[in-house]
Amino acid sequence: MEVERKTDDSSTQNFALPVDSEHKATVFRVYSVAAPHMRAFHISWISFFSCFVSTFAAPPLLPIIRDNLNLTSTDIGNAGIAAVSGAVFARVAMGSACDLFGPRLASSALILLTAPAVFFASIANSPVSFLLVRFFTGFSLATFVSTQFWMSSMFTARVVGTANGLSGGWGNLGGGATQLIMPLVFSVIRDIGATKFTAWRIAFFIPALFQTLSAYAIFFLGQDLPDGNYSKLHKSGEKHKDNFPKVFYHAITNYRGWILALTYGYCFGVELTVDNIIAQYFYDKFNLNLHTAGIIAASFGLANIFSRPGGGILSDLVAKRFGMRGRLWTLWIVQTVGGVLCVLLGKVGSLGASVAVMLVFSVFCQAACGLTFGVVPFVSRRSLGIISGMTGGGGSVGAVLTQLIFFRGSRFSTETGITLMGVMIICCTLPILLIYFPQWGGMFCGPSSEGITEEEYYMSEWSSVEKDKGFHQASMKFADNSRSERGKRVGPAPIPFEGTPNSDV
């Protein structure tokens, strides 16, 4: 059943889901494929899933690739670092591209540009060429930023955590699914008659083709915003083309974005690290065969089917009662518990205990990722893309540093590295205590006594000249729709007399 909503200029649009004043969906119906909201959701997570499969297609086959290319432990560690380091700057760039050109063009372009690297993996013949294909394939993980930006542009404040959690979590499933897919594809090709050193090469054509097809799906089926694509809205004057230096400035001067980038480095960054090391860890430590090690490793990533989405849903649920302060408290608690479990994973010695602890650890680690992006959409309205990119890039930086320090070469055993990684999680989660929104409060303090409102917070990103031209209208609507972050247990902040979505500030 379609719900009709009128815009402020009295034009009428029809949507399959109920929407707010920005035409963002106010409900989330996972079984729907209605355009534009739910279609964007399904296209985004499937394309991100394909990029995860491509990026982590190599780890489950490393015992074979290692013998074929004569890789040392240092070579393998360097390749693992390369796979996630490529996304560091790519994620920040993706955030900027989303702000300026929209998630549809930004995402489809990056996926198409990185697909050849996956195909080229089949002709890698040395440690250097193997490292290079993993490095360039890893750029595709920047599609995470466009996924989160897209969901934040399609769904309102009350359900944005759920939308971000599900799209990111189901996309991350690719990291676990590839642990099952690649050994299976390898076995089928080998059984047909190919040698094992040929079979692993042919197997890479499957993720490469999947990734290419997902790029075309985004381009032809996706839509940037509920009201249309950026290019169309820019031409019609319904959306102004923002000034990039100002967008960038407001992003890098907002300390909340930097804190979330750091803490995300030790939930999502840890997840990337585990995806790279876990199959080989179980294969070597417990003398398992390739298929069994792959199944165990897959269970870590496959937990994303409910764990990261669960984090996003939990973020929305606590916000209904406790507002933004509830989101922050829940994020800190869940990620800290994840750190404790990571320490324990490095200490247990039996196969059964290791698998059990790993599974519980995966739930908390991935839920923290979903909880993080329950907070990110509220840091900035004008610079949402760059803030998302900074946070996502922080995840990649965390993965690079963790692997560089703990899992490269023979300085630490893998068990010791995992334990120390857990200590890092606990320490790097503490800065969440410093995040404070004057209109909503922080973990230990309530809203500012000066009576700062949502409008004042988001209007601070616009100059008086820009307001006179009406560029701030989208931020005004967002401010009005984000009042729910006050929560039921938080004293209501004052609402200015002219605090309607169309008022000038």
**DSSP reduced 3-state for 260:** helix
Helices of type H across 70-142: 73-101, 103-120, 127-138
**Would you say residue 504 has pLDDT above 60?**
no
Sequence ranges of the domains in the chain = 34-225+242-442
DSSP code for 266: T
State how far the Cα of 316 lies from the Cα of 373, in Å rounded to an integer: 11
Phi/psi region, residue 38 (left: phi>0; alpha: psi -120 to 50; beta: rest), is: alpha
* Cα–Cα nearest to 282, from 376, 415, 83: 415
**Would you say residue 6 has pLDDT above 50?**
no
pLDDT tens digits along 38-82: 999 999 999 999 999 999 899 889 889 999 999 998 898 889 888
* Cα–Cα nearest to 37, from 22, 47, 52, 50: 22
Tokens 């032809």 identify what position?
220
State how far the Cα of 214 lies from the Cα of 228, in Å rounded to an integer: 20
The mean pLDDT of 119-133, rounded to a whole number, is: 95
Report the pLDDT value the prediction gives residue 4, as an integer from 0 to 100: 39
The mean pLDDT of 205-221, rounded to a whole number, is: 96
Cα 371 to Cα 102, 162, 168, 316, 383: the distances in Å are: 24, 9, 11, 9, 20
pLDDT tens digits along 151-189: 999 999 899 999 999 999 899 888 778 888 898 999 999
Q: What is the H or E stretch that residue 68 is in?
A: helix 62-69
Tokens 């409910």 identify what position?
306
DSSP code for 222: -
State how far the Cα of 402 lies from the Cα of 262, in Å rounded to an integer: 13
State how far the Cα of 62 lies from the Cα of 56, in Å rounded to an integer: 11
Report the pLDDT value the prediction gives residue 267, as an integer from 0 to 100: 94
CB of 381 closer than 8 Å to CB of 479: yes
Question: What residues form DSSP beta bridges with 442?
Answer: 436
pLDDT tens digits along 432-473: 999 999 999 999 999 988 888 999 999 999 999 988 888 888
Report the topology of domain 34-225+242-442.
Answer: Growth Hormone; Chain: A; (1.20.1250)
Report the pLDDT value the prediction gives residue 489, as an integer from 0 to 100: 54
Phi/psi region, residue 247 (left: phi>0; alpha: psi -120 to 50; beta: rest), is: alpha
pLDDT tens digits along 287-340: 887 778 878 888 888 888 899 999 999 999 999 999 999 999 999 999 999 999
CB of 16 closer than 8 Å to CB of 22: no
**DSSP reduced 3-state for 202:** helix
State how far the Cα of 390 lies from the Cα of 261, in Å rounded to an integer: 6
Query: Which of 19-28, 258-267, 492-501 shows the lowest mean pLDDT across its residues?
Result: 492-501
pTM of the model: 0.82
